[in-house]
Structure 1
Amino acid sequence: MPLLTVCRCSAYNLLWLLRGLLVTLAVATHAVATTAVGTDNDMVGLDNYFSESWSTVDGLPHNTVNAIAQTPDGYLWFATWEGVARFNGRRFDIFDRSAQTGLPDSGIRTLNVAANGDLLAAGARGGIARVSGHQWQSYPPLGVLINKALVDSQQRLWLATEGGGVVLQLPDGSRRQFTEDNGLPANAAHSLFEDDLGQIWVGTMAGLALIDNSLALSQPFKDQLSLPVFAVAANSQQQLLIGTERGLYQLNEQQQLILLLADVPVATLLPEASGELWIGTVDRGLIRLFHTKLEQLSIEQGLPNNRVLALFRDKERSLWVGTNGGVFRLRDAPFTTYTNEHGLADNYVRTVLSDQADCVYVGSSRGLDQICNGTIRNIDLSSHANGQSVLSLALGQQQSLWIGTYTDGLLHYANGEVVAHYRSEDGLAANEVRAILPRPDGSVLVGTSQGLTLIQQGKLTTPVAASSLPSPFIMTLHQTGDGRVFIGSGAGVSIWHNNQIRQLDFSVLDQAEYAFGFMEDPEAGILWMTTDRGLVAFDLTNEQLALVGRNHGMPFDKLFQLVIDKQQHFWISTNRGVLRLARQQALDVIYGLRDQINYELFGESDGMASAQANGGSSPAASLHSDGSVWVATSVGASKVQPARLHSFSAVIPPVVLEKLIVDGKQFLPEQTIQLAAGTSRIELEYAGLGFIMPQRIRYRTRLDGFEQDWAVRGNQTNVQYTNLAPGHYRFNVAASYPDGGWSPAATVSFSIAPYLWQRPLFQLLVLLVLIVLVSSTVRWRLGSLKRSELKLKLQVAEKTAELAALARLDSLTGLANRRAFDEAMQHELNRAKRQHEPLCLALLDIDHFKKVNDNWSHTVGDEVLKRVAATLQTHCRDIDSLARWGGEEFVILLPDTPIAMAEEVCDRLRQQVASADYSDIVSGLTVTLSIGLAILDDKNDGKQLLIDADKALYQAKKQGRNTVITNDSDGHDTLQ
């Protein structure tokens, strides 16, 4: 959703607000083409906040949000008429009338967080429940709607009801009721507030009541406030604020009621320490009052509904607004977007240019604007440009401005007027001007849709014939210090120097064609080119080309404009958002020091009105003098201040464990859980409770008892473990924002019981029984013939050998197990090093095996494992050692085998598995393998050999699966 346009200047819209304001409001408006964005210096204008909303479409159970709260663990809770919705930033979990909650009705009217962190929910039919972690505890219902719940400083529970007055519930469970009979103005009570003296203020349908520390009830303002009171609060000076059906009152230091706003039906209040007062109204939206400034948000400005029932400020300083149309959120965002609602000539912005001082020029489809310190001024070009569509901008001499248009040629603007106008009839190659390059000698090179034009001392010439260019459609121009002019077109890049033209060969760069923008990096001696196949680096010294593209982690092909900020990061505009990546990472890729880049992608959720940036014009992004980066988009001009990004990652999101699922059965993750023997699949779901950038939260996990180090999970919010051995485990998960610190880990412990035969005592007893049996048999046979004695010893030896064999075989596939493989591997390692023979190791993984289990069953998965194992065993060589590594993975040792021969063996095995018939298991089932292969050398040992093979297997998975990847001794992966 775009940034808000705030209604605060129109006398018509604010007449009903201003009538009751008893302070002087200085409201100034400009009726001309200058629009002020923001308010005074004391606060950020509401139009600089980013807004979002959620409704039943997004998972809320009901669009009326009566109350909002946040528990210490970080969850946000929303009270609705169809239950309480718990929000983790991505998903709503609904708690309504059920055995779990114990509530008599799903309608929830009020939420309150107690000092110990428990959540109190109350509402229809007098239902009351307390939530502690994952546990719900209900209380005896009152039988009447509860409008407000409050846990005071003495841990007493106060309940304001609809028709039953006020109920006080003491910690021992006893209750006391206050009604009209003992002095309450009305039995319908809507609000409760505890002041700094511990007194309870009660807002009723007939006025305000006070219950002091002795529980005496009075009506301090009976004559002045005999009307419905919906909200009571106190400002930062502890002055009482009273929201009524007919306006907002304040109790001053002289204990006098002052009318702040008249004729404004106030539903809820949120005072802040900064002095701001947020006012939710019954039918007029959201109001902010700050000193002498009033601002309003209503349906016209994006509020889901004008009835505001709840206001809440969360730990990340976002403001949450509960309305009759869903929940609405105002927050700070990395990007600010200026649109026609703020005063721009048009939303479709094609070019932005900093004047390197205080202002930024914005060229759009309907004209040119200048933004200076938040003020937008329209530059009227109508006398020279019919459509006023601006495609390109460039700074000229003496603070002048060159303006390229879509249909009206080139304009030169200086001293507030157009001083020159060049069209095709004047010698311009075409009236569509997409790139402008003022040169040090005072000439101007103009890139059009039909070629180049050089303007020198008012004369227009054609420096390069259009036929000499790969394409006459020029989109960008750049000149280096040595005079080389780079020309970006729809068919590549040309260099014009000393009146000579030559083309760069992009064919080796993933067939790149379009060059959208240039950015010189003097420190690195690189000219960066944004193209339709990624980021091209041109070495200005040796003229070598390199590509940072999809193969290196770039998410998109088409990149429009690159800007290098003051923090040495690239900002790159694209059709699908703005990318941010470290400049050093891009340099490391082109120098061969790393394979992948890491990036952040910014879009609508980060304050952009549209993630679609525009390209094919120049410049499409610009670095301003204050360090901010400006981007031309399809909906406005967006800016970001990179220096502020750390503030968004400074808050560390807490992390919670939400689900523990064991073989399909769900457990509460806050318990120490004892799991039965034979447990095969354990799944844990978790969430980082950050609401500013939930899609960017990163996770890492570690299972103590199984893993030594943290495993980085990216934005994955669940993890699975299968076939864990019996034992004790503790799962740890932590979360962070990009570039931020990690949260304290959330943990859960569980134990997997062994089978009876896996217990040490049982194994000891079996051993003792065997010993007794054998010894008894030996004694009984002492008198037998020596032949019988030898026969018995042979039988015992055979039995022992069978037991030993069973301990070395995988029970499912019949292959050697990991223990047997470890012994074989140590033997082969020693032999290979002793005899200087090659030794290769291959890790094999069944592709998409999880889908087999998920789509059919684990029984089918077991059959597939057995079939693959049999196929591998059939086609392995006699000298090879085959074993099941774990799960769907196998491992093969290939002794005395050069790498080339090992690749042939692995590829033959891969083909045999792929061509095998599995129709007797599941009709139409196909199975493929990904294989990672490595060879032993003097630099590594057995552990490193496994690591190298695992890296190759990872690359095989990444490069499409059903393939063999070799990790050579230098750590490079090769595809077979």
Structure 2
Amino acid sequence: MKAKKYNNNDSGFLAVFITIVKTYLPFFLRILPASLRRCITLAFLLLSSTVYAQQLPFAHLSIADGLEDTVIFAIEQDKQGFLWIATRTGINRFDGDRFWTYGQNDGLPNNLARDILNTRAGRLWIASERGIAWFDGKKFQTLTDWPKNVSARVIKEAADGSLWVATYGAGLLHISAGQSPQILETFDRSSGLPSNRVRSLLVDNKGNVWIGMSGNIARISQGQVQTIQWHARRTEIRTFYQHSDNEIWVGTRHGIFHFVDGRFLPLDLGMDLSKQTINTIKRDSKNTVLIGTRDFGVYQYNVNGQVKHLDMKDGLPDNSVNSIFQDNEGNLWFGTYGGGIARLSTSKVLNWKAQKGLPNPNVYAITDDHTGCIWIGTNGDGVSRLCNQELTHYTRDDGLPHNKILSAMIDHNGTPWFGTLQGISHLQDGEFINYDQDNGLSGSVSYHLIQARDKTIWIATNNGLNRFVDGKIVQFRRIHGLPDHRINHILESKNGDLWIGSANGLIRYHQGKFSNWTTEDGLPANFINDFYEDEKGGLWIATNNGLSYFYNGVFKNWRKEQGLPHNNCTVILPGKNDEIWIGTSRGVAIFDGNDFTVITAKEGLVFDLVNRGAGYRDPEGNIWFGTGEGMSRFAADFKPGDSNPPPVHLLSISNNQTQLAIDDIAQIPQQDSSLHFNYSAISFQRAPDVNFRYRLDNGGSSKWRETRLRDLQINSLAAGEYTFEVTARIGNGQWNDAPAVYKFRVTPPFWKTTW
């Protein structure tokens, strides 16, 4: 049999050309007109898009998720655990699953909110364009003596619980704490401030109040105003920060300065920030300093003095970062100017998307050649090789038989093989050697291929099973005993048998004979997408209707009801400590034998839809998934988010659409009883894994009922006294032993009342 050959000797020309251009382009551009420079620079950026880049698993939240606006000014967490987000058009409260929006109709002085403060006493304050307000649990209450038409910019708490508020027009206001807050004193030009327009504010560890304006800094110490001389270039003081050594830093329109020997001097962090606008400076739980900028993303400065830069190419939704916050789960939140918010929960996941080098984000196959290079098959744009931090692409123009790649594997000699929509191919000495039906394949669509220990190549096609050895192809079809022609997956077992996943169940090829198991034998579905064999010889099977384990002739099955995110299981891989990783149409599930931990795009996966068979575990134990919008790699030491019991809260209770006070014992007429409960359990990393249980007790021993719903309707109750309880857990972890409780009384109609 003579295979078709296509020469690929010129495939490296583009990479060489790009290298030459990168070297000489800066010198060449200097002598060209500005308009021509822009055109050439744009052309080069498009040409060099094949350069490899990876992204951190930022989870993006925007208007489509329920966020009020994409311009974020502040992020804070209240004492109950809810996240609050200040935007141009209102305030959001977030529990990891749902957003609630508050605006002027809910008591805010203005919808444009610039800052949020959660005091040590647990009161939540908002600084808005027309004053400040606090949240009483239902709506916002405003300060009655706030000066007219004055914007509140920043709000901070002093050691005694009083508040300091930076305003744009009335200087600095000192507000009392307590049930009826009011203005205690005002510091403005008449008090010695250089300006009544205050941009930034800090109350330091000694109780000093630092005030930032345009080109000026003042400090209030023991009630006295002192102007701090600014010896550098006049600039806006945008933010204050107190470092771990108590040194005061300021972020300006021209970088960062620090307070040394009574004056502010440029701060050297080993990078030039002198031309950058600094919006915010925060410190995380690892003492890493996070610097949010306008247009240049975020800089991370760790305790060892190392600097890391993050921007949109690393996964941020926008390069202008206004606010940074770390919640009590350890998640980092980034509020941007125009890109919404982003959450970063782990650095143990890396993502690749189309705009980061992949020509097509729809990844169907992943493998590696054990030299550090990853081979990626795409749905329509051929093969990409990820090697030495660069991507190289191969298509039909380079000799592939088709650009839709359905499977990939590396043989014992290190040669890559590919199953395509038009036969199989392998790359040898720079040439693609192709085989299709003209060369003996039973079907042109090659869904999967493996090399057995005896070096035989087995090929799964749309029209039967094929064995390729010594340049010859042998077909297996129904006439040879094969139960079905649609073959999806192949596995060589430890004892040398061949396991075959088909569209008509599980097939074993043993000593030249085929055996078949279907739904009639206990399989959850006949369409098998993937499987793997564990150390005991048991077979874990991913079907289009659930997960199955086949051992000693018995199937044990799991579906969505048992914790899978979706019944269509597309990939199955072994993890560490006997964990099973399952790719589905709605994310990835990690199964430890008892519980499923779900990972979606909100937890770091590049996209929720994992393609059939697009999974790989590399020699280092990293887990790879190909999805409809890119590729994710989970590090071997990746750990899912915390599974501690989440806090549970009753949000609202109504009867016949009439709101009831949660802290009162309601009297509900029996003939009108139609109760609606709305509740929440707060988890940001593990929101898809939250499970609830509830019970309604009226003096007996009512049983708990489990649900994944966050709303519950109960109708037609008998007269009596009731206690409603709801609690939650992560996956099948420990239930929160402090349920949310509501007590009420259902009263009988008057004709059933004892006179």
Q: TM-score range by the shorter chain?
A: 0.7 to 0.9
1:400 Cα deviation after fit: 5.2
User: SS of the counterpart of 2:611?
Assistant: coil
Deviation at 1:648, TM superposition (A): 0.9
Q: Distance in 1 between matches of 2:432 and 2:748?
A: 91
Task: Kindly indicate whether residue 186 of structure 2 is the aligned counterpart of residue 181 of structure 1.
Answer: no
Find 1:128's aligned residue among 122, 125, 132: 132
Structure 2 residue aligned with 1:93 = 100
Distance change (3 Å), C-alpha of 1:492 and 1:651: closer
Task: Answer whether contact 1:85 1:92 (CA < 8 A) is retained.
Answer: yes
Letter in structure 1 aligned against 2:147: L
Shift of 1:571: 3.1
Q: Whole-Å Cα distance in 2 between the matches of residues 520 and 318 of structure 1?
A: 36
- Measure, in 1, the Cα distance between the counterparts of 2:364 and 2:533: 21
Which residue in 1 is equivalent to 2:217? Answer: 208
Q: CA deviation at 1:328?
A: 0.9
Note the C-alpha offset of 1:220: 1.9
Structure 2 match to 1:684: 677
- Whole-angstrom CA distance in 1 between matches of 2:75 and 2:454: 64
User: Following TM superposition, by how much is the alpha carbon of 1:198 offset from its aligned partner in structure 2, in angstroms?
Assistant: 1.3
The residue type equivalent to 1:735 in the other structure is A
Match of 1:269 among 277, 281, 286: 281
Distance (whole Å) between structure 2 residues aligned to residue 124 and residue 80 of structure 1? 11
- Aligned equivalent of 2:377, options 355, 363, 370: 363
Q: Are 2:72 and 1:71 aligned?
A: no
Structure 1 position 554, deviation (Å): 7.3
> Cα distance, 1:309 vs. partner?
3.4
What pairs up with 1:655-804 in 2 under 5 angstroms? 655-669=648-662, 671-675=663-667, 678=670, 680-706=673-699, 708=701, 711-722=704-715, 724=717, 728-752=721-745
Q: Aligned with 2:199: secondary structure?
A: strand
Equivalent position SS for 2:190:
helix
Q: 1:608 aligns with which of 592, 597, 605?
A: 605
Alignment of 1:449-468 (within 5 A): 449-456=462-469, 458-462=470-474, 464=476, 467-468=479-480
Cα separation, partners in 2 of 1:195 and 1:427, compared to 1, 3 Å: same
Q: Secondary structure at the match of 1:278?
A: strand
Matches within 5 A, 1:404-415: 404-407=419-422, 409-411=424-426
Q: Closer, same or farther in 2 for the Cα pair 1:115/1:388, shift >3 Å?
A: same
Hey, what does 2:573 align to over in structure 1? 563
The one-letter code of the counterpart of 2:601 is E
Pair 1:557–1:145, CA change in 2 (3 A): closer
Distance 1:389 1:301, change over 3 A: same
Change (3 A) 1:714 1:378: farther
> Higher relative CO (CA 8 A, sep ≥ 6), structure 1 or 2?
2
Amino acid at match of 1:364: T
Residue 325 in structure 1 maps to residue 325 in structure 2? no
Aligned residues of 1:369 and 1:377 also touching (Cα < 8 A): yes
2:257 is aligned to 249
Q: Which of 401, 409, 428 is 1:394 aligned to? A: 409
TM-score, normalisation: structure 2 = 0.79
| Among candidates 162, 166, 169, match of residue 168 of structure 2 | 162
Check if 1:636 corresponds to 2:635: no
Once the two structures are overlaid, the 10-residue window that deviates more, 248-257 or 73-82, is 248-257
Query: Which has the larger Rg?
Result: 1
CA shift for structure 1 position 219: 1.9
Structure number with higher helix proportion: 1
For 2:520 and 2:712, locate their aligned partners in 1 and report how far apart those are by CA, in whole Å. 43
| Change over 3 Å in CA distance of 1:716–1:191 after alignment to 2 | same
Q: Deviations over 1:270-293 (max 9, x none)?
A: 233534333334455555455453
CA contact (8 A) 2:563 2:731 kept: no
Provide closer, same or farther for how the CA distance between residues 485 and 97 of structure 1 changes in structure 2, counting only shifts above 3 A. closer
Q: Does the 8 Å CA contact 1:109/1:124 hold for their aligned counterparts?
A: yes
What letter is aligned with 2:198? A
Number of matched pairs:
697
Indicate conservation of the 8 Å contact 1:344/1:378, yes or no.
no
Q: Tell me the CA shift for residue 685 of structure 1.
A: 1.6
Tell me which amino acid in the other structure corresponds to 1:92: F
Candidates 119, 126, 138, aligned match of 2:124: 119
- The aligned residue for residue 18 of structure 2 is none
Structure 2 partner of 1:437:
450
Alignment-mate amino acid for residue 75 of structure 2: I
The SS at the match of 2:161 is coil
How far the C-alpha of 1:73 sits from its partner, in A, is 0.8
When residues 409 and 104 of structure 1 are mapped into structure 2, their CA distance, relative to the original with a 3 A threshold, is: closer
Matches for 1:337-352 after TM superposition, within 5 Å: 337-344=351-358, 346-352=360-366
The C-alpha deviation readout for 1:366-385, integer Å capped at 9, x for no partner, is 4545668x956548687553
- 1:152-210 CA distances to partner (integer Å, 9 max, x unpaired)? 11222212111211122345845222222332121100111011221110011231111
Aligned to 1:901: none
Aligned residue in 2 for 1:35: 52
Query: TM-score scaled to structure 1, two decimals?
Result: 0.63
Which residue number corresponds to residue 832 of structure 1?
Answer: none
Give the SS at the match of 1:700.
strand
Secondary structure class of the residue paired with 2:340:
strand
1:636 Cα offset (Å)? 2.6
Distance 1:731 1:95 in 2: 28
Task: For 1:725 and 1:500, locate their aligned partners in 2 and report how far apart those are by CA, in whole Å.
Answer: 66
In 1, Cα distance between the equivalents of 2:526 and 2:448? Answer: 18
Gaps of 5+ in 2: 1-21, 27-47
Cα displacement (A) at 1:136: 4.5
Alignment of 1:211-290 (within 5 A): 211-212=220-221, 214-224=222-232, 226-252=234-260, 256-259=264-267, 261-282=273-294, 284-290=296-302
Is contact 1:239–1:253 with CA below 8 Å preserved after alignment? no
| Closer/same/farther in 2, CA of residues 188 and 461 from structure 1, 3 Å limit | closer
Deviation per CA, 1:738-793: give whole Å up to 9, x if none.
Answer: 2443335254453427569899xx96xx6xxxxxxxxxxxxxxxxxxxxxxxxxxx
Please give the per-residue CA displacement for 1:29-52, whole angstroms capped at 9, x wherever unaligned. xx8977364xxxxxxxxx213231
Equivalent in the alignment of 2:615? 621
What letter matches 1:572 in structure 2?
A: I
Amino acid paired to 2:327? D
Counterpart Cα distance in 1 of 2:514 and 2:748: 80
- List aligned pairs for 1:47-62, cutoff 5 A: 47-55=55-63, 58-62=65-69
Q: Structure 1 residues 514 and 467 mapped into 2: Cα distance closer, same or farther (>3 Å)? A: farther
Unaligned runs of 5+ in 1: 1-9, 14-30, 38-46, 586-597, 767-976
> Residues 235 and 272 of structure 1 are in contact (CA less than 8 Å); yes or no, is this contact kept in structure 2?
no
RMSD across aligned C-alpha pairs, in angstroms? Answer: 4.2
Work out the CA distance in 2 between the residues paired with 1:233 and 1:241. Answer: 5
State the AA in 1 paired with 2:629: V
Alpha-carbon deviation of 1:58? 4.6
CA distance in 2, matches of 1:54, 1:227: 32
1:114 Cα deviation after fit: 1.3
Residue identity matched to 2:188: T
- Give the secondary-structure state (helix, strand or coil) at the position aligned to 2:104: coil
**SS of 1:650's equivalent?**
coil
Measured in 2, the distance between the counterparts of 1:78 and 1:349 equals: 35
